[in-house]
Amino acid sequence: MKNILLGAVCAAALFGTAAQAQEEKKVTIAVSIPAADHGWTGGVVYHAERAKAVLEKSHPGLKIVIKTSPDGASQANALEDLTTQGMDALVTLPHNSDELTDPIRQVKDKGIFVTVVDRALSDQSIQDLYVAGNNEELGRVAGQYLKDTLGKGDVVVIRGLPIVIDEERQKGFDGAVAGSDIKVLDKQFGNWSRDDAFKVMQDYLVKYPKIDAVWTQDDDMSVGALEAIQQAKRTDIKMVVGGAGMKEMIKKVADGDAMVPVDVLYPPAMIATAMELTVANFYDQVPVRGRYILDATLVTKDNAQEFYFPDSPY
């Protein structure tokens, strides 16, 4: 019996020593992301810094280097610098997929683990891991909500920019309302901008004497649309449905604001998910390679507190 107990104690000690050694293993992960030049990317930077603090505390041997870049060319240069400094993995949200594919390929060619976030590369074979929101589902969830809530009505749409993300979101929305009594009066680009969305909404308010609801592809644009509606004192518009998870919009949902009854998630916190999965590849030795597509969760008054980050810039 004594020998059995002694063996168990020794095994536990060895396991503890091995676990401690694993935690202290030296790993450097570079995180290359856009600078906080508007709301959503501000949220990306916030959640990256937040994840860095938590992950480095959990893994004493881990070093995470976060580099922000104002444009694609600067990000390409930053990747070159990070590579020369030495890293085991790269987590990156590219400014532009086409422009950054070759610079990221050069990183991969050096045997570095590559995690891409949100904007897939032109050559997806470069990616060990891909983490993103679901753009088409964001549009579908918003369209389904308007269809279920309004039943019938006149809706105007404020799109983003003429890029793949916009097309996917619009495809999902159009598919959700197809064949219903929801009539889409107009679609114009708001360029992911509050100011541009404000101007688009002003144009809609002049052109259309009756609007039941507004769908915007992004919460920043919802802010502009709401301001235009308020200034025009239009009472026919029942709601503005946006997406992404801006804290101001989530707070309105939580508070029961009738004009913002819901929001659809496309969270900047996906950068943290990508960092956590990348770290798990090195410390937990679990299979993480592949595609991780996050849900486009419908945020309601009942669940809004789960997605509210008051300290985030977004």
Prediction pTM value: 0.82
Nearest to 237 by CA among 245, 229, 227: 229
pLDDT above 70 for 184: yes
From CA 262, how far away is CA 41, in angstroms rounded? Answer: 22
What is the CATH superfamily name and number for domain 135-265? Response regulator (3.40.50.2300)
62-100 per-position pLDDT tens digit: 999 999 999 999 999 999 999 998 999 999 999 988 899
From CA 221, how far away is CA 158, in angstroms rounded? Answer: 8
Residues 6 or more apart in contact with residue 9 via CB below 8 angstroms: none
Question: Hey, where are the domains in the chain?
Answer: 8-133+268-283, 135-265
Q: Hey, how many other C-beta atoms are within 10 angstroms of the C-beta on 126?
A: 19
Distance, CA of 97 to chain centre: 16
User: Among residues of the chain, what percentage have pLDDT more than 70?
Assistant: 93
Alpha helix ranges (H) inside 158-210: 164-177, 194-207
> Residue 312: its pLDDT value, please?
86
> Residue 265: its pLDDT value, please?
95
217-244 per-position pLDDT tens digit: 999 999 999 999 999 999 999 999 999 9
Report whether 220 contacts 36 (CB < 8 A). Answer: no
Which residue in this structure is represented by tokens 């030296």?
Answer: 26
User: Among residues of the chain, what percentage have pLDDT more than 90?
Assistant: 82
pLDDT above 90 for 186: yes
As to burial, measured by CB atoms within 10 angstroms (0-12 exposed, 13-18 middle, 19+ buried), residue 180 is: middle
From CA 225, how far away is CA 119, in angstroms rounded? Answer: 26
What separation in angstroms does the CA of 144 have from each of 12, 122, 264? 54, 31, 11
CATH class of 8-133+268-283: alpha beta
